[in-house]
Chains A and B, each alone.
Chain A
Amino acid sequence: MADEEPPEEPGDEEPMPEPTGTHNDGGLVWGSQIITIGAKTYVADDISVQFPVKEITRTNENDVENGDVLIEGAFTGSATLQVLNSTTPVPPVAGAFTITSLNSVTLNCKVKEPGVKFGKGDEAKIPITFKKRHAGS
């Protein structure tokens, strides 16, 4: 990248409509995000997050359910990281970062399984899985 900042182009400031066929109704995430792990910046694509729920049911003597408890588990997810320059390394296990939902909820995450870097130089991508980063961790 040249040090010179490219000039703003006409249309840069125009808000873009949602692409046809997408319906974000307070959905968790859509599109790509800039994330920072350590001091390194990545672009995270294909973000997918799952919120597991454990269900405990109570039944009567005829095995008919008459009560339950739903326990929220720690979320897990996956993403594809695009590196922004050739020196960006594969992120470390437990590397902390945040992602933001479209309704502006910030999720604290940590890398669970960093994958292999595919590609080379500035054209590299890294698949990762991640999970919830607990307070204090």
Chain B
Amino acid sequence: MILDQIPGFKKKVEAAREEESKLRDFAYTGLPETICGVDVKQFTPRHFLNCLLAKSPFFVGGIPSPVDVGLFLWIVSPGFKPFDLQARNEFLETVIEVPYADAIAEIDAYIERAFFDRPSGGSSRPAVASFLASLVHEIASAYGWYIDQILDAPFALLYQQLRMIAREEDPRRPFPNRLSDKVVRELVLKHQKKQKRIAKEEAK
């Protein structure tokens, strides 16, 4: 069955694809994002490393406290300076009014956007290096970028470049589109359920 025959299919899938497209284009703008009104940079491997060093629950697990939220916002803020305690404390005072629950939800969404095109799966063999080593290796090998350029580029941009590298190696390789594929899947399952219901009613 041709999917376009499902009522509303094209409209909904096109809307999801447009959303994906906007998300992907944004990675290349270099523009900041906002979390609860606070300006933050797009999430980069360097931010990720700093979060790991700070044992941020957003990456190492656990329930984030309000201080963890503040520290996360500090790490991704344009004014972040490692080891500058005075700057950090001044920043934390500016975000003290940020609503905790909203901040958690927006940080989760911010991270999800950054990792939207992340490669799926992974090797079952034991890791021999940081996953960032693999990222740096792939990008540097293909484009000759310096390590600092890669570590300071948004994940959302790097993952798209990884897709291009993989597609160049294997033009037939498919890539999941997390938004539009989900919409397709849900519409198909809904349609099948509806067809089954109609068949059941007709059989009565």
By a beta-carbon cutoff of 8 Å, the part of chain A in contact with chain B is: 1, 5-6, 9, 11-16, 19, 29-34, 41, 43, 45-46, 78, 80, 82, 84-85, 100, 102, 115, 118-120, 122-127
Contacts and interface: CB of A to CB of B under 8 A. Distances in A.
B61 interface: no
Nearest to B122: A120
A14 B8 contact: yes
Contact of B11 (A16, A29, A127): A16
24 contacts: A5-B194, A6-B190, A13-B8, A14-B8, A14-B11, A16-B11, A29-B2, A30-B4, A31-B2, A31-B3, A33-B2, A34-B188, A34-B191, A46-B174, A80-B174, A82-B181, A84-B188, A100-B1, A100-B2, A118-B173, A118-B176, A119-B121, A123-B120, A124-B176
A5 B193 contact: yes
Nearest to A78: B172
A1 B189 contact: yes
A123 B181 CA distance: 7
B61 to A, nearest CB: 20
B190 A127 contact: no
Interface of B: 1-4, 7-11, 14, 120-121, 172-176, 178, 181-182, 184-186, 188-194, 197
Pick the 8 closest A-B CB pairs, nearest first.
A125-B174, A12-B8, A123-B176, A119-B176, A16-B10, A119-B120, A32-B3, A80-B174
A18 to B, nearest CB: 9
A34 B3 contact: yes
A80 B172 CA distance: 9
B185 A43 contact: yes
B4 A31 contact: yes
Contacts of B10: 16, 19
Nearest to A127: B172
A120 B1 contact: no
Contact of B3 (A43, A85, A118, A122): A43
Given A127-B172, A127-B173, A122 B185 contact: yes
Contact of A41 (B2, B14, B182, B192): B192
Contacts of B9: 16
Nearest to B177: A123
Contact of B1 (A33, A78, A115): A33
A19 B11 CA distance: 10
A104 to B, nearest CB: 9
Given A43-B185, A82-B181, A115 B172 contact: yes
B158 to A, nearest CB: 18
Contacts of A78: 172
A97 to B, nearest CB: 12
A9 B8 contact: yes
A43 B1 CA distance: 10
B183 to A, nearest CB: 11
A101 to B, nearest CB: 9
Contacts of A41: 188, 192
